[in-house]
Structure 1
């Protein structure tokens, strides 16, 4: 599991499936202090949340009700300077190589398959923690 961070780390999870949100909330409840999770259920809410809350990491479902993850990332890049855009991770049950490649080409730093691997999530959070 990730170690506590000296600087609090704020993660925004963009997901419309309530069961996936509950799972992610449970994962974050088990993490050491220093990690917070906010959840929004569509791309429009994500655009507002990024502007208002300035998360350190975004976890973005690729199939949202109002836009797909690629469109959301493009809109985030338009509203945020590139150096201020936090790392973004795509989440999807779609494991087709062309989907993964498209996400990475669009600027996602990683692509996680659903159901989420909890151990991989914990390791990834540690990787994003400040050094």
Structure 2
């Protein structure tokens, strides 16, 4: 099932891969996505299932928790980049973590993350950022 990104405009479907192992965080993000019918949330609960999902899914955005049961966000992003043409992920990647120290954020950006959102998420801020990244 290859999902191409061929549509443009505010009504085009946008696919987001959310890599998160905490069910409550997943439920919150699913609820947030219900407000935007053109957005499709795909959830992977660990790094291995995220890499497997990327075999067929070409997301418009990836949201990656920094603390997963089988890896951390840095290693997962490096694995994604190693499998990607040109060494860049197929979509922008956002790190999510309760870690909010400036050096942690700087390290994530150096790894290649395009942005860093702290938990617990502020729903209004995340919704605004999703609109910005998905250009909806």
Equivalence for 1:36: 40
Compute the TM-score of the two structures, normalised by the length of structure 2. 0.87
Task: Map Cα deviations across residues 73-108 of structure 1 (whole Å, 9 max, x no partner).
Answer: 000001112455200000000011111000001110
SS in 2 for 1:30: coil
Equivalence for 1:69: 73
SS in 1 for 2:71: coil
Distance 1:69 1:83, change over 3 A: closer
TM-superposed CA distance for 1:119, in Å, is 1.1
More helix, by proportion: 1
User: Residues of 1 paired with 2:133 and 2:95: CA distance?
Assistant: 15
Segments of structure 2 that go 5 or more residues without pairing to the other structure are 1-8
Segments of structure 1 that go 5 or more residues without pairing to the other structure are none
Equivalence for 2:122: 117
- 1:1-131 aligned at under 5 Å gives the runs 5-31=10-36, 33-81=37-85, 82=87, 85-130=90-135
8 Å Cα contact 2:61-2:134 kept in structure 1: no
Matched residue count: 127
Compute the TM-score of the two structures, normalised by the length of structure 1. 0.90
Task: Map Cα deviations across residues 10-61 of structure 1 (whole Å, 9 max, x no partner).
Answer: 0010000011001111111122x21110111000000111221111100000
Q: CA RMSD in A?
A: 1.6
